[in-house]
Structure 1
Amino acid sequence: MSSVAVAVVDAETPGNVGTIARSMKNFGLDELLLIDPPDLPRESEAYGYAGQAREDILPEAREISFDELVTEYHTVGCTAITNEDGSKHVRYPFVTPRDLADDLAGLDADTAIVFGRERVGLTNDEIERLDQVCSIPASEEYPVLNLGQAATIVLYELRSLTVEDTQLPDPTHDRAAQPEIEGLHEQFAGFLDAIDHPEEKRAKTRRLFQRLIGRAHPTGRETTTLRGLFRQASQRLSDEE
């Protein structure tokens, strides 16, 4: 597979950014992406908590927008709050960190593991723009972990993909580039317009399709074929009007 980055959205405290950077260093990751981060001066808690990651990962962190994140990466949002079945689609289906490692093992795409705010995590609007959802199985009495704990558990389970001394699986899936995937989503949106899909259902239908594609990891050829089918169908419907 290609690289695995870690993205932190709107972190409230520098200390948590440092803790996540340290966990990244522990488990062989080095690309830290920050969306709307707090100030991270050298004298802040971020550097105090980062351990050896203060020498490379933390100072080299890249600040990007949420739009850039979902365009450039295959995204996996981490959340404690999920739905139990498919009747609600924003936080379902979800995978555990261990299942996620298996899922990403043969994926030829740059992936970003996305963590949200300390108190409220990722919003529904943010999660519905991500490709997959990951949740840590915990006690029903108290399932919410703090940000540093959650990051450490998820990154530990991904170590088979990121630690050099671990035998990596042979690539088995040539996933389409992310811009091609985004183009497929836009083509599908055009198809919904062409068939006059009910306006109030389009957002949910697009979200269902995004999650389906996020789990399927289509190849470039598969993506091109699907885009062609949606384009031809839309054109034919337009010609019949």
Structure 2
Amino acid sequence: MIAVAVVDAETPGNVGTIARSMKNFGLSELLLVDPPELDPDGEAYGFAGQAREDILPAARTVSFDHLVEHYHTVACTAVPNEDANNHVRYPAVTPSDLAASLQDVDGDVCVVFGRERVGLYNDELARCDEICSIPASADYPVLNLGQAATIVLYELRELTVERNQHPDSLHTTAEAAAVEGLHDEFGRFLDAIEHTEEKQAKTRRMFRRLLGRARPTGRETRTMRGLLRQARQRIERGSD
């Protein structure tokens, strides 16, 4: 299942536009983080088309923590003219590659869109499993929120509108909570080896991106977590 989340939208009309695009391309679960008021007689419902009958009124308000804890998260963001060593926004897949990237994810996926003016904050991007960015002119790479969502959701149509045409995959991705447990253990491991404090956030982001692309199975996740725990415990005993 693929859900869509909109974080801290300022304009109700953009929420309605995204709901309409979801209806167009076979998605139904809309999650809102810090949403504006959505008046049934206002522009959100006016822009939503037929989505005003089901998707928009059924939208759930959740926290950003909820997204990270319960979904394989894909953050959609502009990639400005930055060095590719910026591990907050890189590596990023394009919308045209996103469906292929997600087709083996058996757990729930959430595609996350951010604010109209500034998009998702860096600390939010750092907590997501994958980054998706729409290639655009370097002179003006930032798209309107509703436009960006429509482009991304269109490219996901083979997983939503045409999802029944895909054969079952033998790869079963670990549940989001299990992957988060592995991230927590990796953080404790970094503390145990006294990894430089100012480099820890960057290292953890790199590890999150790596796991996001690899999509480990439940068994792989448990094994890696166990290995990190054993290594950490040996280091801690040796330092006593």
Name the TM-score class by shorter chain: over 0.9
Q: Which runs of 4+ in 1 moved over 6 A?
A: none
Of 48-57 and 193-202, deviating more is: 193-202
Return the alpha-carbon distance in structure 2 between the equivalents of residues 213 and 165 of structure 1: 24
Letter in 2 for 1:116: G
- The residue that corresponds to 1:102 in the other structure is 100
Cα deviation per residue 1:92-126 (whole Å; 9 max; x = unaligned)? 00000111110101111101100001111111111
Shift of 1:45: 0.4
Unaligned runs of 5+ residues in structure 2 are: none
Do 2:80 and 2:141's aligned partners in 1 also have CA atoms closer than 8 Å? no
- The residue that corresponds to 1:4 in the other structure is 2
Return the alpha-carbon distance in structure 1 between the equivalents of residues 163 and 92 of structure 2: 29
- The residue that corresponds to 1:93 in the other structure is 91
Return the alpha-carbon distance in structure 2 between the equivalents of residues 24 and 173 of structure 1: 27
SS of 1:75's partner is strand
1:220 paired residue among 218, 221, 225: 218
- The residue that corresponds to 1:184 in the other structure is 182
Shift of 1:165: 7.1
Letter in 1 for 2:44: A
2:132 paired residue among 126, 130, 134: 134
- The residue that corresponds to 1:120 in the other structure is 118
SS of 1:128's partner is helix
- The residue that corresponds to 1:157 in the other structure is 155
- The residue that corresponds to 1:26 in the other structure is 24
Cα deviation per residue 1:185-236 (whole Å; 9 max; x = unaligned)? 0000010011111111111111111111111100001001100100000111
SS of 1:139's partner is coil
- The residue that corresponds to 1:168 in the other structure is 166
Root-mean-square deviation (CA, aligned residues, Å) is 1.3
Of 85-94 and 213-222, deviating more is: 85-94
Return the alpha-carbon distance in structure 1 between the equivalents of residues 99 and 150 of structure 2: 14
- The residue that corresponds to 1:194 in the other structure is 192
Identity of aligned residues (%): 69
Letter in 2 for 1:177: E
Do 1:100 and 1:134's aligned partners in 2 also have CA atoms closer than 8 Å? yes
Letter in 1 for 2:11: T
Do 1:35 and 1:63's aligned partners in 2 also have CA atoms closer than 8 Å? yes
> TM-score when scaled to structure 2?
0.96
Aligned length in residues: 239
> TM-score when scaled to structure 1?
0.96
Letter in 1 for 2:29: E
Return the alpha-carbon distance in structure 1 between the equivalents of residues 20 and 206 of structure 2: 35
Unaligned runs of 5+ residues in structure 1 are: none
Return the alpha-carbon distance in structure 2 between the equivalents of residues 172 and 150 of structure 1: 32
SS of 2:120's partner is coil
Do 1:82 and 1:94's aligned partners in 2 also have CA atoms closer than 8 Å? no
Of 137-146 and 64-73, deviating more is: 137-146
Shift of 1:164: 4.5
